[in-house]
Amino acid sequence: MRKASIVQRIRNIRLEKGLTQTELAEKCNVSKSLISKVESNKASIHLDLLMDIAKALDVRVSEILEENPNNSQAIIVRESDRRHWATGMNGKLGFDYFGLAGSKKPNLDAFYVVITDEACRASRFASHEGIEFIYVIDGKLKIEFRDEDYVLRPGDTANFDSSLDHRLMPANLGEKVELLMIFAK
């Protein structure tokens, strides 16, 4: 998915809700400057910021990622239709997200995630509302909390309160990890 379409949808939803950039920034606990940079496609949108924006706008993350929300009884997402969005730190990409859920379940978002770059090690701790479930598909995933670290291998799962500060990265430098990530409120 083109980042430009994501930032356009953020702006459109913000305007539909009658919010200014300043009001959105206050709801997200970030600067107006950052919201302005996001909307003008001059700043990277990390998952925790995207989740904060979605919460402030009272929409699901997938509603921001989807180009054409589906109103069918069942949402089918073909592999070729998955919405892709990449982010990272310090100008380096390291996280690739592929949307798996449609917009039928207001309290659920699911992503196939590939984490590849050492830039992830410089990423800040994230926290957001809800519960996070992770299933490791391939590679070794390191999950850092403020007080504990865990290494997960293929087939391992983690389930935690995502309001806890946490950070995800490949367990070994230069390797990648693939996982299923589900967020529930």
Q: Are 117 and 40 in contact (CB under 8 A)?
A: no
Instruction: Give residue for tokens 């996982």.
Output: 179
User: Shortest CA distance to 166 belongs to which of 142, 183, 182, 185?
Assistant: 142
Cβ burial, residue 78 (10 Å; 0-12/13-18/19+): exposed
Give me the residues paired with residue 88 across strands. 93
Q: Which CATH number among 3.20.20.100, 2.60.120.10, 3.10.310.50, 3.20.20.140 corresponds to the domain 79-184?
A: 2.60.120.10
Q: Where in the chain is the domain with CATH 2.60.120.10?
A: 79-184
Residue pLDDT, tens place only, 55-65: 899 887 877 87
Q: Where in the chain is the domain with CATH 1.10.260.40?
A: 3-65
Counted residue by residue, the chain has a size of 185
Residue pLDDT, tens place only, 157-173: 999 999 999 988 899 88
The pLDDT score that the predictor gives to residue 173 is 84
Q: Which of 30-39, 85-94, 101-110, 149-158 has the lowest mean pLDDT?
A: 85-94
Residue pLDDT, tens place only, 103-141: 555 677 888 989 887 656 656 788 888 899 999 999 999
Q: Which CATH class is domain 3-65?
A: mainly alpha
pTM of the predicted model as reported, rounded to 2 decimal places: 0.64
